[in-house]
Amino acid sequence: MKIGAIIVAAGRGTRAGGGIPKQYREIGGRPVLARTLDAFLSHAVTGPVIVVIGEADRERFEDLALLLPGAVEAVTGGKTRTASVRAGLQALETHAPDAVMIHDAARPFVSAGLISRIAEALAAHGAVIPVIASIDAMIERDGDGRMTAAVDRNQYAGAQTPQAFHYRPLMNAYRALGETALPDDATVALSAGLPVQTIAGETGNFKLTTPEDFARAEAMLNTNTAITVTGQGFDVHRLEAANSLMLCGIEIRDGLGLVGHSDSDVGLHALTDAILGAACEGDIGQHFSPNDARWKGAASHQFVTHAVELLRRAGGTLLHADITLIGERPKIGPHRDAMRQRVAQLLGLDLKRVNIKATTTERLGFTGRGEGLAAQAVVTARMI
């Protein structure tokens, strides 16, 4: 699926202060917009990347573009966000995309993992948005600020970006709007009767809106306040004769299968435990009990994604992952590259930050006798 990206950067952001549009202010010595564009330019699933700018900011953007790791196409936005996104969609049309991700320029901490999860969800849904559940009690209030009712917070969530859609239905929805302005792209999709699927967003993917948000961003990027942590995981599953097995997210047909409650991917189970260890969130059994029917035959990539999200909520960012597979069979060499690519995608890491290797126990023990397969994993993360 060819997924274009539109970065909406035409607003003024006056509430943030700073004297210039907030997307051009620096955090950690780099403009906000440059950091946002980096996330999409460096991701394998998105391209081309189009940025919608204010006409008055063209010179600023041209200076910023010199700092980017790749080429972007800049188009002029309109008076409303709706008009700006429409301009971006029209510019993207010449590239014949299958789908599009639309992202706020002022969310510079969007992770590669979130982008990957949204791209995966697009395979099953026509529209996907990330959301954050409220942890606070929710109320209704009147125009004078008085509480009028309590609200069930489970019925509400905060919408984030990138919001992603199959291109043609969304383009048609924008054309049908005319001059009407709506708050975001999901609302445009709903106005055209398109179903919108929600997935878990990330607390770190917050929007820079106020001076306090900029202070938070600077603190996140200040390496003097960060620490490096490691997490370690180990798992074993029994082998049996079968058509195939899952290992590090890849199906291998070698006449063997792994026995367990889920799909028994021993590599991803060890990786999940390593990430949970770095987040100080216990072990895989606490989160995905083998006694819970929900996880019968479940794909283990769900466990990894959950662990990564817990690490992010704890203030962590994955830096590196190393997995060792221990056994006589199956042979890992022919599948190593595909495994690395899949794990890198799940973790939102560059391929150079993921290592997978294999060893044997010299015919000793249960792995040496071919009775089972073991895996251990170590991850490194930065915590703030």
CATH number belonging to the domain at 3-223, selected among 3.40.309.10, 3.40.190.10, 2.60.40.1240, 3.90.550.10: 3.90.550.10
Give the pLDDT of residue 95: 96
Q: Judge whether 73 and 87 are in contact, CB under 8 Å.
A: no
Task: Give the domain ranges of the chain.
Answer: 3-223, 226-383
- Residue whose C-alpha is closest to residue 56's, from 22, 11, 16: 11
Superfamily of domain 226-383: 2-C-methyl-D-erythritol 2,4-cyclodiphosphate synthase (3.30.1330.50)
How confident is residue 37, by pLDDT bands cut at 50, 70 and 90? very high
DSSP codes of every residue in 161-220: S-EEEEHHHHHHHHHHHTT---SSHHHHHHHTT---EEEE--TT-----SHHHHHHHHHH
User: pLDDT tens across 52-93, in order?
Assistant: 999 999 999 999 998 887 889 999 999 999 999 999 999 999
How confident is residue 225, by pLDDT bands cut at 50, 70 and 90? low
Give the pLDDT of residue 223: 67
- Residue whose C-alpha is closest to residue 71's, from 11, 167, 5, 161: 5
Considering the chain, what percentage of its residues have pLDDT values greater than 70?
A: 99
User: pLDDT tens across 229-269, in order?
Assistant: 999 999 999 999 999 999 999 999 989 989 988 999 999 99
47-77 exposure pattern, b = at least 16 Cβ within 10 A, e = fewer: bbbbbbbbeebeebbeebbeeeeeebbbbeb
Q: Which tokens hold the place of 136? A: 């606070």
Maximum Cα–Cα distance for the chain, whole Å?
76
Common-topology check for domains 3-223 and 226-383: no
pTM recorded for the entire structure: 0.64
- Residue whose C-alpha is closest to residue 106's, from 169, 171, 40, 16: 16
